[in-house]
Amino acid sequence: MSSYKPFLSAVAALTLTGAAIVGSPILLVDLDRLEFEQTTTDQLTWDESKTSCAALGDNWELPSTYELFALYYLQNKNDSHLITLVSNTDYWSRNIYFGFAFGLNTHSGIASFDRQIDTDHFLCSRREPLANRS
């Protein structure tokens, strides 16, 4: 199990790498307030992945598509602090729509849209509680 707590705030990442800009319109993802956990490199269905994250307790869940893209783009800027994503595959996000789930394709760096019964890789994420923010 590998864990990742980012060292750069979104503003610093934007200033240093330009990689925290996600999507259009521009969205800044504050990775400094997120923690990621990669519990396995196995591929699971969306429901199995969601259950695996929830089993970690303490508010762990699948990341949003924006969080996945921010992590992907920072990884491609050679940030040594990041979790290494499996290449040439899809990752689940928590964003769903009528039996399909959005995610990230690590081969092309674009959004994927798979049936929830398909199997993909996944990460777990959690946000720092508001009470802990400075």
Q: What is the CATH number of the domain that holds 101?
A: 3.10.100
Confidence of residue 81 (pLDDT cuts 50, 70, 90): low
Q: Which domain holds residue 120?
A: 2-29+36-129
Residue 77 lies in a domain: yes
First to last CA, the chain: 28
pLDDT value of residue 35: 84
pLDDT value of residue 78: 60
Residue-averaged pLDDT of the chain: 76
What is the total count of domains within the chain?
1
pTM of the prediction? 0.72
Share of the chain above pLDDT 70, in %: 66
Residues in the chain: 134
pLDDT value of residue 30: 66
Residue 22 lies in a domain: yes
Average pLDDT estimate for 111-129:
90
Of 130, 118, 2, which Cα lies nearest the Cα of 71? 2
Residue 134 lies in a domain: no
Sheet bearing 90-97, strands edge to edge:
90-97, 100-105, 110-115
Residue 73 lies in a domain: yes
- Whether the per-residue pLDDT at 12 is higher than 50: the answer is no
Other beta carbons within 10 Å of 68: 29
| Residue 34: burial class (beta carbons within 10 Å; 0-12, 13-18, 19+) | buried
Average pLDDT estimate for 111-118:
93
CB 65 within 8 A of CB 27: no
Of 108, 19, 119, 107, which Cα lies nearest the Cα of 71? 19
Confidence of residue 33 (pLDDT cuts 50, 70, 90): confident
Bridge partners, 112 (sequence order):
103
- Whether the per-residue pLDDT at 22 is higher than 50: the answer is no
Question: Between 35 and 121, whose confidence is greater?
Answer: 121
pLDDT value of residue 48: 97
